[in-house]
Amino acid sequence: MLFLVTTDIGFETVLMEELRELEPSIRFIRVFSGRILFEAQPLSGILAALRSRIANNVYVVLHHFTNINSLDDIYKAVKSIDFTNVILPNESFAIRPERIGEHGFTSIDIGRVAGQAVIDSYLEARGIRLRVDLDNPDIEIYTELNRDKLYVALGITRTSLHKRGYRVFNHPAALKTTIACALLRIAGWTPGRPVLDPMCGGGTILIEAALASKGIEIPCFKLRELESNPVIDRVVPGALNAIKKLCREVSRDVRKRFIGIEINPRFAEGAVINAKSAGVDDMILFVVGDATKLLPRIVEVAEKELDLKLELSIFNPPYGQRMKPKDLENLYKGVVQLLRDLGFKRVVFITSAIDIAEKVLMELDPGPTKRLYVVHGTLPSYVYSIELS
Ligand SMILES: C[S@@+](CC[C@H](N)C(=O)[O-])C[C@H]1O[C@@H](n2cnc3c(N)ncnc32)[C@H](O)[C@@H]1O
């Protein structure tokens, strides 16, 4: 069975690595701008995709076509597909169109033409006219035209997996949960290992680390949504049962292993609320204060009181929208320098303030540095991974 899984641009190889770990038998077919097409056995494939902590959306591909250049090509391609096995006559459907590349038409046009093709295909096969419901359809058909390639797929996730549902407090610059998990993986982090986020905002990175450490699986946050999607058990019988089984076992690890510092008390309070809502507040210590001043004391307390050896720091600092460039530079420099002086081994951070980050790294020369180009929201950014020496 063919699966299409999306992620944020730049994180494709990180997602592939994770998927391969979750299911070694996966065969990757194509990787392109935030999308991975892979082949796997139906049950192991759908479980790997939904258990991913880095994937955003998951689809089962019905068909893919090449050489699609016009709306007429789209109509003919979609109409050639037999939908009678995946949509029941009394069910409604909606096309979810997407378009990547230069075309002389819009994604709305794709939706309209593909929708008509589904109706006509079903009418011809069964003599029944399917109902369209754009707001609350039974079945979602994802139709993506990626340059001249057309993917027609069934929506397994209805909302992106990055929306875990635990975020009660919305930090104005919150990191996507899936990107937080990608950073953890880039850092070579393994569940249970201590992490320090010196600018933790609403706590996303630490909450995700704690969730993974407790073995709380991502589809468990989405159970109701997945259960309400009739397509899942239809295309992969037994999938829902297998997912429910995953949600029964949760480790009761209550040791504090993750430490966050946040200068704004309101955000720190929000982080505590989010961690509680995610069920992992027992594993995270949030401290209010300025990281450039508090770090030495925090590291000492972590070691003496919590028996924690902090060696890994992961964060997404402010990008400078509300800060003067000089202050931002001093913040980046102050934190990286302190982490090195305090004996941290690795620092991973994501920022779109690339000029400032590069200037600081040139001046500090903190150690071998890897850069991964990614798109954070709409912002071109780098993930820096530094081996401190
Ligand atoms: C981009 S946000 C982090 C968002 C966070 N990763 C999340 O998902 O909610 C950066 C945070 O750094 C905090 N910050 C800025 N300067 C700081 C400092 N000197 N010490 C601690 N936190 C600081 C800001 O208040 C802000 O909440």
**Over the stretch 269-283, which tens digit does the pLDDT of each residue have?**
999 999 999 999 999
Nearest protein Cα to ligand 1, atom 26: 201
Q: Quick one: pLDDT band at residue 322, thresholds 50, 70, 90?
A: confident
- The rounded Å distance from CA 272 to ligand 1 centre is 14
Specify the residue for token string 């798109």: 375
pLDDT tens digits, 214-237: 999 999 999 999 999 999 999 999
8-state DSSP, 81: S
Nearest protein Cα to ligand 1, atom 3: 201
Q: Quick one: pLDDT band at residue 250, thresholds 50, 70, 90?
A: low
| Per-residue pLDDT, 320 | 84
Ligand 1 atom at shortest distance from the alpha carbon of 334: 19
**Residue 210 clears pLDDT 90, i.e. is over it:** yes
Q: Is 216 exposed, middle or buried (0-12, 13-18, 19+ CB in 10 A)?
A: buried
Q: Ligand 1 pocket by C-beta < 6 Å: which residues?
A: 171, 173-175, 198-202, 204-205, 261-264, 267, 290-292, 316-318, 331
- The rounded Å distance from CA 389 to ligand 1 centre is 25
Mean of pLDDT values over 23-33? 96
| Per-residue pLDDT, 149 | 96
Q: How far apart are CA 338 and CA 300, in angstroms?
A: 13
- The rounded Å distance from CA 297 to ligand 1 centre is 19
- Identify the structural domains of the chain with CATH numbers, from first to last: 2-155 (3.30.2130.30), 177-215+232-387 (3.40.50.150)
Tell me how many degrees the CA angle 174-207-296 measures, rounded to the nearest 5: 90
Q: How far apart are CA 248 and CA 243, in angstroms?
A: 9
**Residue 308 clears pLDDT 90, i.e. is over it:** yes
Under the phi-then-psi rule, with left for phi > 0, alpha for psi from -120 to 50, and beta for the rest, what region is 17? alpha
Ligand 1 atom at shortest distance from the alpha carbon of 197: 6
- The rounded Å distance from CA 154 to ligand 1 centre is 38
- The rounded Å distance from CA 259 to ligand 1 centre is 13
**Residue 80 clears pLDDT 90, i.e. is over it:** yes
Convert 143-163 into a string of H (helix), E (strand) and C (coil). Answer: EEEECCEEEEEEECCCCCCCC
Provide the pairing of β-strand 35-39 with 2-6: antiparallel
Ligand 1 atom at shortest distance from the alpha carbon of 335: 19
**Residue 251 clears pLDDT 80, i.e. is over it:** no
8-state DSSP, 175: P
| Per-residue pLDDT, 252 | 65
- The rounded Å distance from CA 354 to ligand 1 centre is 17
Mean of pLDDT values over 4-24? 98
Query: Which of 196, 200, 290, 381 to mutate for ligand 1's pocket (most ligand atoms within 8 Å of CB)?
Result: 200
| Per-residue pLDDT, 227 | 96
Q: Quick one: pLDDT band at residue 253, thresholds 50, 70, 90?
A: low
Return the percentage of the chain with pLDDT > 70, whole number. Answer: 98
Alpha helices (runs of H) in 247-344, residue ranges in sequence order: 265-278, 291-305, 325-341
Mean of pLDDT values over 93-111? 96
Q: Please report, as a single letter, which amino acid is at residue 24.
A: P
Mean of pLDDT values over 81-90? 96
Nearest protein Cα to ligand 1, atom 1: 318
Ligand 1 atom at shortest distance from the alpha carbon of 270: 9
- The rounded Å distance from CA 261 to ligand 1 centre is 8
- The rounded Å distance from CA 262 to ligand 1 centre is 6
**Residue 254 clears pLDDT 80, i.e. is over it:** no
- The rounded Å distance from CA 268 to ligand 1 centre is 9
Query: Which of 197, 263, 292, 324 to mutate for ligand 1's pocket (most ligand atoms within 8 Å of CB)?
Result: 263
pLDDT tens digits, 47-61: 999 999 999 999 999
- Give just the sign of the alpha carbon dihedral 56, 61, 66, 69: negative
Tell me how many degrees the CA angle 190-17-153 measures, rounded to the nearest 5: 125
Average pLDDT, the chain: 96
